[in-house]
Amino acid sequence: MTRGGWDERFFDRASTRGVASSLSDWAAYHIPLFLIKSYVDRFTKKPPDACLTYSCHHLVFRNEPWLVEIGRIWEMIGHSPGHFYRYKGIIERAFASENCKRVLCFTEFSRKTCISVLNGQGFEHKIDVLPRAVHAKKFTKNHKRDGVRFLFVGSANLAGLFEYRGGKEVLEAFSILSRRYNNLELVIRSDIPPALKQRYDQVLAQPNVTVLEGFLPWGQVEEIYQQSDLFFFPCHYESWQIILEALSYELPVIAIDLEGVSEFLKDGESGFLVSEAEGVPSIQNGLPLANASPQVRKALRRTDSRLVQNLVEKASILIEDGALRRRMGAAGRWQVEEGDCSLQRRKAKLKEVFDQATS
């Protein structure tokens, strides 16, 4: 694409209206899109002085040393479990090849999934976990303000993720909480589909609810994080980066316990975990389901009252206990700055991996 050309304007407009997200999800579910891309990449050339190719979510079929970093094992094929089981032999042969030096999984959950759904003979020893990490934020947290400000981040630059990230449950829970407590605010950093705006118009019209749609400079987004007290994020898929960003801003997080979320959000230490909504499938044939899966999309049309009540229960604890909010926030920030999700731990692991792969 050319900078500022018609194609960029088209994709910018499409992304803010959810078109790009819907099209990419549809294509990845119905076509083994990522596998096709890997085959196309065979015709590209690596720099002549490179001794190792580092791939994210894609197999490498060129005759060269490589390693791959993956979240969900099906990401190297496409979103459909059917496509994965049809083509998983290609993954097994690629991982078993001498060129493949290491398979780095986002979480222990992901590593165990790889081992359980693949015939790992010849490559199981290559499968390892590379810790998730974000840059530690340097700022001073202000705990002196009155009231409790909730923050929910869906997406504004790429539309269409409001429901997947638990936006409906956030609105339902906050509606209940704001009737119990008179010192609450909710900031929503997300697009909201028109039908849901109409459905929840009474909640969204409250003076203590702010909706921020469209592009925002990063400095303004950072200010919103710093001025919030609690991160409300009942996302229906594993979204490690957003959770770690919230922890880095010293926010206790309330999230759904699925896939590997419990590995970077410690229940009772840096936030609270709640169970997934009833009827929303998360695993099929041993694989975590993509949010583009038809059964997930259908299940999310309804809102589970049990999940909403669990969110209300955990949020009430943090509303009423400011000292606990501060302890959890500090624990999350330490985890990102010094602990399991710190950049220094990730860098140390990468050095070990690179040294072994290039020896």
Check residue 118 and give its pLDDT: 94
Give every CB contact of residue 2 below 8 A, 6+ residues apart in sequence.
8
Bridge partners (DSSP) of residue 253 are: 231, 271
CA 341, 344, 349, 353 dihedral sign is positive
Using alpha carbons, select from 46, 81, 78 the residue that is nearest to residue 65: 46
Look up tokens 């790429």; give the residue. Answer: 158
Residue 43, pLDDT score: 85
C-beta pairs of 344-347 under 8 Å, 24+ apart in sequence: 345/131, 345/133, 346/130, 346/131, 346/132, 346/133
CA dihedral 64, 70, 76, 80 (to 10 degrees): 170
CA dihedral 106, 111, 116, 122 (to 10 degrees): 120
At the fourth CATH level, the homologous superfamily of domain 148-337 is Glycogen Phosphorylase B; (3.40.50.2000)
- Residue 201: CB partners within 8 Å, gap ≥ 6? none
pLDDT of residue 359: 81
Render pLDDT for 63-100 as a digit per residue (tens, 0 to 9).
Answer: 999 999 999 999 899 888 888 999 999 999 999 999 99
Domain regions of the chain by residue span: 31-129, 148-337
Distance set, CA 235 to CA 153, 189, 224, 245, 340 (Å): 10, 14, 20, 14, 22
**Residues with Cβ within 8 Å of residue 101, at least 6 apart in sequence:** 52, 65, 66, 67, 126, 353, 356, 357
Q: Give CA–CA dist 263/248, Å, rounded.
A: 16
Tokens (6 digits) for 90: 């290609």
The answer to whether 273 and 257 are in contact (CB under 8 A) is yes
Q: Kindly give the parts of the chain with pLDDT less than 70.
A: 1-29, 156-159
pTM value is 0.88
- DSSP β-bridge partners for residue 69: 56, 104
Per-residue pLDDT at 23? 61
Contacts of 134 (CB under 8 A, 6+ apart): 241, 244, 245, 248, 336, 341, 343
* Residue 1: predicted pLDDT: 36
Q: How many CB atoms lie within 10 A of CB 20?
A: 18
pLDDT in tens, 185-241: 999 999 999 999 999 999 999 999 999 988 888 889 999 999 999 999 999 988 999
Work out whether strand 271-274 and strand 66-70 pair parallel, antiparallel, or are unpaired: unpaired
Q: Which pLDDT score is estimated for 115?
A: 94
- What SS3 state is found at 238? coil
Contacts of 42 (CB under 8 A, 6+ apart): 61, 62
Q: What is the pLDDT of residue 11?
A: 39
